[in-house]
Amino acid sequence: MQLGVIGLGRMGQIVVRRTLDAGHEVVAFDLSAEATAEADERGADTVDSVRSLAENLGDGKRIWLMVPAGDAVDATLDDLEPHLDGEDVVVDGGNSHFEDSVRRAERLDAAYLDCGTSGGPAGAELGFSLMVGGPEWAYEELTPVFDAVATGPDGHDRMGPAGSGHYVKMVHNGVEYALMQAYGEGFELLHEGRYDLDLEAVSRTWNNGAVIRSWLLELCEEAFREEGSSLGTVADEVRGGSTGTWTVQEALEQEVPVPLIYAALAER
């Protein structure tokens, strides 16, 4: 398959790398010459404009956007729209609001897949978890690329119609807020409590068979190993982001109580 990738930041580079490693072709574009050069070194065909990318893809375009949520997505779609038709597929892999994704899907002639992407930098080696919304035929068309970018066939699925992928990712991030808050509170109690504990040892032990083992806890173990139990020079603040706020707003609208997620957002 030939895939166009627009947006070559950290996550976009991972999409390029994993797609190329799976034997597909990539045409890539970014406003940054440095980012474009990095994709070129990986083996992608790089171009100097969105128009050039569309022209290089020909008919039946398959395009993955990995640009910041918000105006950047709409601006990119404005540039792409004259070159798209109903046979083309556009994937938005950023953290767009699900209602924006519904609006964009209705606006475009091309099929629009909203793709919630989770995994962070570790996705370079392990692959991402992909939560996809949009037309079923378009999802099936992109399955070879989703297999490559995700952890494998089990690492992605179609959640439902337009907006559902980013909706699921939004709630995923709200759950992540609560999990991080719980780990933070627990480790603070261990650190300030009755015993002089090695928190790396605690987290390593928990990660091997305990019911609260997780990738987030693996990151804690790595942090304690590198910085010590006091976390050294690690900043003692985590800012709130849009997705956590959106989760709480949606919960209020749907009248679903989410006290843990709300408290974690409020702490931030």
Question: Distance between CA atoms of 243 and 253, rounded to whole angstroms?
Answer: 15
The three-state secondary structure class of 15 is: helix
CA distances to 46, 51, 150, 195 from 187, in Å = 46, 51, 31, 12
**Has 176 been annotated as catalytic?**
yes
The CA distance from 59 to 63, in Å, is 12
Set 38, 61, 141, 176: catalytic member = 176
Question: Strand order of the sheet with strand 62-65?
Answer: 45-46, 25-29, 2-6, 62-65, 89-92, 111-118, 129-133, 156-160
Pick the catalytic residue from 38, 61, 141, 169. Answer: 169
Does residue 61 carry a catalytic annotation? no
Distance CA 2, CA 20 (A): 10
- Residues with a catalytic annotation lie at 169, 176
